[in-house]
C-alpha cells in the first residue's frame, strides 16, 4: 500500500537527524521517513519489512508525522511509573529511625514498624531492598555469644 505522506524535510536534514539520533526506535522512524523521501521505497509494507516491524506500526508513525510533523517523530514518550510502596515522607522517617541508637534488629522488625505506625503492609523483600540498597543502611546485629565463652578473654581480645 503506497502512502501519500509528504515529507517536508530535505534529504540532508533527515540524514543529519538520523546520524545524530541515539534512540533506536526514533532512528527507525527517521529511517522510514528518509526512505520515503529518497523514493528508495514506496510502500508501507516494504518499509515495515526492512525495519522488521508491523506495517500498522509504520502507518501509525506516518500518521503521527502528518499530525505533528518531525517533532512528533522525535518526541520520546515516557511511561508513567508505578508509585513506590513506601512514600518519601515515610522513607525520611525510616532513615531517622535507622540512624537512632535503638535502630532495628531485623528487616522483619522494620516491616512490623511500617505496619504498626503507618498501616503499610510491605513485603519483606521490598523492605530489604529499601533499607539495604536504596538507603544504603545495614542492620548491624552482633553475633550471639557462646555460653562457654569467657567474657574477660573476649574483652581482652577486643582491646588488642
Q: Into how many domains does the chain fold?
A: 2
Residue in this structure with the C-alpha cell 529499601, named with its chain if needed: 130
Instruction: At 133, list the grid cell.
Output: 540498597
Mean pLDDT estimate for the chain: 87
* Proportion of the chain above pLDDT 90, given as a percent: 36
- Asked if residue 1 has pLDDT above 80, the reply is no
Average pLDDT on 43-59 reads: 90
Instruction: At 117, list the grid cell.
Output: 505506625
Residues 70, 9 contacting (CB under 8 angstroms): yes
**For residue 30, what are the domain limits?**
11-74
Alpha-carbon distance values, 89 to 23, 39, 101, 140 (Å): 35, 57, 21, 24
Whether residues 15 and 55 fall in one domain: yes
- In tens, the pLDDT along 94-128 reads 999 998 888 888 899 999 999 999 999 999 999 99
Instruction: At 155, list the grid cell.
Output: 574483652
Average pLDDT on 26-41 reads: 88
- Per-residue confidence (pLDDT) for residue 77, from 0 to 100: 76
More confident site: 9 or 127:
127
Whether residues 27 and 60 fall in one domain: yes
- Answer yes or no: is 58 within a domain: yes
In angstroms, the CA 91 to CA 48 distance is 47
Whether residues 66 and 17 fall in one domain: yes
Determine which of 44-58, 63-77, 139-153 has the lowest per-residue pLDDT on average: 139-153
Instruction: At 97, list the grid cell.
Output: 529511625
- In tens, the pLDDT along 134-154 reads 999 988 666 677 788 787 887
| Phi/psi at 43 (5° precision) | -110, 155
- In tens, the pLDDT along 81-92 reads 888 999 999 999
Amino acid at each position: 500500500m503506497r502512502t501519500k505522506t509528504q515529507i517536508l524535510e530535505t534529504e540532508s536534514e533527515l540524514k543529519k537527524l538520523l546520524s545524530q539520533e541515539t534512540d533506536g526506535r526514533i532512528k527507525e522512524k527517521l529511517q522510514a521517513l528518509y526512505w520515503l523521501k529518497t523514493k528508495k521505497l514506496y510502500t508501507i509494507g516494504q518499509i515495515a519489512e526492512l525495519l522488521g516491524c508491523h506495517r500498522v506500526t509504520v502507518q501509525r508513525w506516518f500518521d503521527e508525522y502528518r499530525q505533528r510533523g518531525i517533532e512528533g517523530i522525535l518526541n520520546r514518550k515516557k511511561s508513567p511509573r508505578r508509585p513506590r510502596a513506601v512514600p518519601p515522607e515515610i522513607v525520611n522517617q525510616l532513615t531517622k529511625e535507622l540512624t537512632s541508637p535503638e535502630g532495628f534488629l531485623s528487616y522483619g522488625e522494620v516491616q512490623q514498624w511500617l505496619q504498626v505506625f503507618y498501616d503499610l503492609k510491605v513485603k519483606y523483600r521490598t523492605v530489604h531492598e529499601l533499607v539495604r540498597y536504596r538507603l544504603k543502611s545495614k542492620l548491624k546485629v552482633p553475633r550471639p555469644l557462646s555460653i562457654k565463652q569467657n567474657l574477660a578473654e573476649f574483652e581482652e581480645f577486643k582491646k588488642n
